[in-house]
Amino acid sequence: MTDPIYRIAAPEALAAASLAGAYQGEAHDKADGFIHASTRAQLAGTLAAHYADAERLAVAVIDAQAIADLIRWETSRGGEDFPHIYGDLPWSAVTAVHLLKKGEAGWRLPEELTG
């Protein structure tokens, strides 16, 4: 897989990971035993399904090739295969972080993430 994958997270969690050198996930990831991620096409659906009540979010763009040995594609919401990261996400695999804006109609993804 050469396309990046994406992790939606609290901005402060990603900031802490950038300082620590790795992202270990948040409470729901730890409970499930893996870090949840999405493809670009799945981002809007993930935001709507799991983050409607959040106030602030960020999206980490992840080089999937750099962590290919940690990713398992597993069937989840709606029968779609989602990338799940088993293990800590090394910060070196994160190529960008985008802060998200929530408008009256819900979350608004930056243009770089909607193509």
Tens digits of per-residue pLDDT, 36-75?
999 999 999 999 888 988 988 999 999 999 999 999 999 9
d(CA 102, CA 97) in angstroms, rounded, equals: 16
Q: What is the DSSP letter of 93?
A: G
Per-residue model confidence (pLDDT) at position 1: 56
Which range (17-21, 92-96, 108-112) has the least confidence? 108-112
Q: Token pair 């602030």 is at which residue?
A: 56
Number of residues in the chain: 115
Nearest to 38 by CA among 79, 7, 3: 7
Segment holding 44, helix H or strand E: helix 43-50
Longest dimension (CA), the chain: 40
- For the chain, the domains span 5-103
Q: What is the pTM of this model?
A: 0.92
Sequence-distant (≥ 6) Cβ neighbours of residue 18 within 8 angstroms: 91, 94, 97
pLDDT digits (tens, 9 = 90+) for 85-99: 999 999 999 999 999
- The rounded mean pLDDT for the chain is 92
φ and ψ at 4, to 5 degrees?
Answer: -70, 160
Q: How far is CA 69 from CA 87, 98, 110, in A?
A: 10, 25, 29
Q: Architecture of domain 5-103 in CATH?
A: Alpha-Beta Barrel (3.20)
Taking 90 as the threshold, does the pLDDT of residue 7 lie above it?
yes
pLDDT-based confidence at 108, cuts 50/70/90?
Answer: confident
